[in-house]
A = this chain, B = another copy of it.
Amino acid sequence: MTERLSITPTHAYRNNDKLIGIGNAFWDMSERSGLAGIVAAYGEGVLRTEAGHEYIAEGHEFVNFSCCSYLDLDSHPKVIEGGIEALRRYGVLDHCIARSRVQIPAMLELEASLGELFGAHVVCSIAASTATFGLLPLIASGHLGTGKRPLMIFDKNAHVSMANVKPVCADETEVVTSGHHDLNFIEDACKKYEQVAYVCDGSDSLGGYAPVKELAELQDRYGLIVYYDDSHSMSAYGERGVGYVRTHSPVLDERTIVVMTLNKAFGTSGAAIVLDGYDKETLRVIERFGGALNYSQLLNTPAVGAGLASAEIHRTGELVTLQNKLYENIQLFDSLIHTDQTGSTFPIRLVPMGDDTVIEAGRRVFEAGFYVSPVFFPIVARGTAGLRVMMRAGQSAEQVRALCAVLAEVGARPTAPIPGEAAR
């Protein structure tokens, strides 16, 4: 009998052996230390563990400093009631058929409301990753954008939900990976290719914003298309919470495509694709050929109703109040612990730790009553491990101070005291 064939993979854009080989050991370590696989009941801003871990007893109470609901809108009574009301009103979670055929008006209602909020055309999706998997191949083939097949440049730090679509795009066009925000690389490509599209986060999950103004210059000069995932700044940033990109990009037309989750600061489920300047034909192409955007499962009615309620809050002074509470908490944190993000409005802080100390540090913080997530390769580059802290509007000053005290104990760098401060 002849030997049966084994296969050598190309690994041009991804490599599960490497990803899982390295990442899984760290996850296992996290879980053994009680920092992963936590199941916890939620109530009044505090979680309580349901299962015992090696180090953490069942019933351990903690404040989640690693939840992306930056404005705590997820538990806002109006948002919850909005979800209930829509479920009752429509009488179904969903009416299972592709929306390009027949749809009930639920998701259209939310799209209209968000469209008004953004001053743009909004298409909703069940998740930002779903939107990305639907849209990037259309950009690759030139059907979304200028009609020309672009060289697609993925930022090396682009979230995995975007990076995962590289091989799909590579079957429709050429795909390359650039350094992080490498404007020279992008400009060189613009000089060489008749059309270029750049894919990156508008707001990074590890803190920091995209250089939207510099990119806009390239958009103006070369017709560069930019696809932003601005999930981490939706609601948390800008007037009526339109996010960082839509606040600062001078180019809001067909060349700028923004996708944002509704699941973080907005407080509900799903995602919004924010578009400007596209004609009806292109919008129909998105709806019909944007992958899961035309599958039979739409955003369910409670997510729609909750979204309508959250959008209403975005139109009131309450949003400003919540944003300001978030910023106060961020400033308080920055006044106590120094990070590379100090001074930014970004709700995420990465407190550097050694690859070999990060989990023990996280464990001690958790024991003290705060969950912060240890991040490590492959979430971040090797040698840049740390504890990721996410600030929320709903955290009390007392909680922030107590967290910072224990962070300092486990090796975080305290902010230099203001001269004379200690004497007061």
Contact = CB atoms under 8 A, between A and B. Distances in A.
Interface of A: 4-7, 9-17, 19-20, 23-24, 27-28, 31, 35-43, 47, 50, 64, 66-69, 74-75, 79-80, 83-84, 87-88, 90-97, 100-105, 108, 126-127, 129-130, 133, 137-138, 140-141, 143, 148-151, 160-161, 164-165, 167-168, 170-174, 191-195, 261, 263-264, 267-269, 284-285, 288-289, 291-292, 295-297, 300, 302-303, 306, 371, 373
Contacts of A127: 126-127, 130, 292, 295, 297
Contacts of A16: 137-138, 140-141, 143, 172, 289
Contacts of A35: 101
A93 B303 contact: yes
30 contacts: A6-B194, A9-B141, A15-B172, A16-B172, A20-B143, A24-B284, A24-B285, A24-B289, A27-B100, A35-B101, A40-B103, A40-B104, A64-B97, A66-B102, A67-B102, A74-B95, A80-B87, A80-B91, A80-B92, A83-B302, A96-B263, A97-B373, A161-B291, A161-B292, A161-B295, A164-B291, A261-B297, A263-B296, A300-B302, A302-B302
A362 to B, nearest CB: 10
Copies in the complex: 2
Given A67-B95, A172-B16, A295 B129 contact: yes
Contacts of A5: 151, 192-194
